Amino acid sequence: MTRHYLDHNATAPVRAEVIEAVAEAMARDGNSLSVHQEGRRAHKALEDAREKVRALVNAPVNGVVFTSSGTESIHAALHGTLKPHNITRIFVSAIEHSAVLANAEATGAAIEIIPAKSSGIVDLAWLKLRLGDYDVEKDGGFLVCIMLANNETGVVQPIRDAADITHDAGGLLFCDAAQAVGKIPVNFVMSGADIMSFTGHKFGGPLGVGAVIAGPNFALDPVMRGGGHEHNRRAGTHNVPGLVGLGVACEMARDSLARAGDIADLRDRMQAAATAAGARVWGTEAERLPGTLCLSAPGFPGETQLMTMDLAGIAISAGSACSSGKTKPSHVLKAMGASENESTSAIRVSLGWNSTEEDADAFCREWPSAYARMKNRIDQRGAA
């Protein structure tokens, strides 16, 4: 059976060029902080990768801090910002990845949730009103957390506007860009964010590498200590092969960005087939990632859809991969006003850099047929 991988938002297939670059780097000796020839060569490879990352997201010089993952990047950004900036309160959007809320709560700061609208867009009017009388001198510093693109619905958030509102009130903005980098243009400087995070495995890079992007001279307390790595901002021996692979993925991401229109066309084809079969699609009122499709099918539990499609040779996700296996409804869709039935019957279909017409055709063929069979069984039980 031919397999069709439609779960890029969980982990995108690694590019062949990345695999080759990682393998070559693994065959070389040297610690990136050693001063001998082998160490200098490793250090150069590391800094070449940093420059490729910087170029892709328009990061400031010395603004790229390497980590082991998107989750570590979130941890480093939130915990590292707290003390230097006297953060006493963190505003977290209702649609953030669970890693953001979990790390925000772990800081010990007061937490407030920014609601989202039915479109999937964060309610910036609520944020502006809430911050209207916020007194940093009296209440302490604050951090606003809003992702660039949602991992479930693909809805792209108005980060520049959020940054302006936040800065006008004297706060800082953290942006989780894990789902956006390599899929849509990301410009850190123009976004207005003070600090950003992302990871390589969402767009064709290797697992186990990520980055924090920080503004010029942004104070960041290291949450991993013990060495002088990353200019004392993150201790730990560098994963040079993985970071070399990240650099190659960042170079090649321009190919994916050029394919965005074609990928969106494939997404829209699947969306039309699902809608015709009776599904509700989420986030259509807003700009979305080109390859993300989130839909609900009443009476067709998400876990059942996942297994049914898997047996048909199609890999999809029932929500966030980090939450797979959990039966609780999607907090993202609930924030958008979804009912319990709509939340528990939601799936995410996600395309990426190597998706093909055959992948979309397979979904258009198999998913509507599976939903029709499910509705027929429901009708038969009701008649009985």
Rounded Cα gap, residues 34 and 357, in angstroms: 48
Residues 247, 328 within the same domain: no
Residues 304, 202 within the same domain: no
Among 235, 255, 275, the domain-final residue is 255
Residues 315, 230 within the same domain: no
pLDDT confidence of residue 72:
95
Residue with tokens 């953030």: 96
Rg (CA), the chain: 22
Among 197, 230, 255, the domain-final residue is 255
Rounded Cα gap, residues 306 and 311, in angstroms: 9
Q: List the CATH number of the domain containing 45.
A: 3.40.640.10
- β-pair partners for 112: 91
Residues 266, 336 within the same domain: yes
In order, the DSSP letters of 218-262 are -----SS-SS-HHHHTS-S---HHHHHHHHHHHHHHHHHHHTHHH
Print the domain residue range for 356. Answer: 4-12+259-383
Report the domain count for the chain.
2
pLDDT confidence of residue 14:
98
Check whether 342 has a pLDDT greater than 60: yes
The number of beta carbons lying within 10 Å of the beta carbon of residue 22 is 23
Longest dimension (CA), the chain: 79
- Check if the beta carbon of residue 295 is closer than 8 Å to that of residue 317: no
Q: pLDDT tens across 370-380, in order?
A: 999 999 887 77
Annotated catalytic residue within 145, 250, 322, 364? 322
Task: Tell which residue, 53, 69, 114, 81, has the closest CA to residue 193.
Answer: 81
Q: pLDDT tens across 261-289, in order?
A: 999 999 999 999 999 999 999 999 999 99
Residue with tokens 């010029």: 216
DSSP H or E run through 108 = none
According to DSSP, residue 328 is labeled S
According to DSSP, residue 213 is labeled E
Check whether 151 has a pLDDT greater than 90: yes
Residues 153, 228 within the same domain: yes
Rounded Cα gap, residues 184 and 264, in angstroms: 11
Residues 227, 286 within the same domain: no
Question: For residue 325, what pLDDT band results from cuts at 50, 70 and 90?
Answer: low
Residues 247, 325 within the same domain: no
The yes-or-no answer on residue 322 being catalytic is yes
Range in 40-44, 137-141, 223-227, 350-354 with the lowest mean pLDDT: 223-227
Among 221, 255, 289, the domain-final residue is 255
Residues 282, 177 within the same domain: no
Residues 251, 345 within the same domain: no
Check whether 112 has a pLDDT greater than 80: yes
Residues 267, 308 within the same domain: yes
Residues 250, 264 within the same domain: no
The number of beta carbons lying within 10 Å of the beta carbon of residue 358 is 10
Backbone angles phi, psi at 166, to 5 degrees: -65, -45
Tokens for 273, please give them. 């087939």
Residues 87, 193 within the same domain: yes
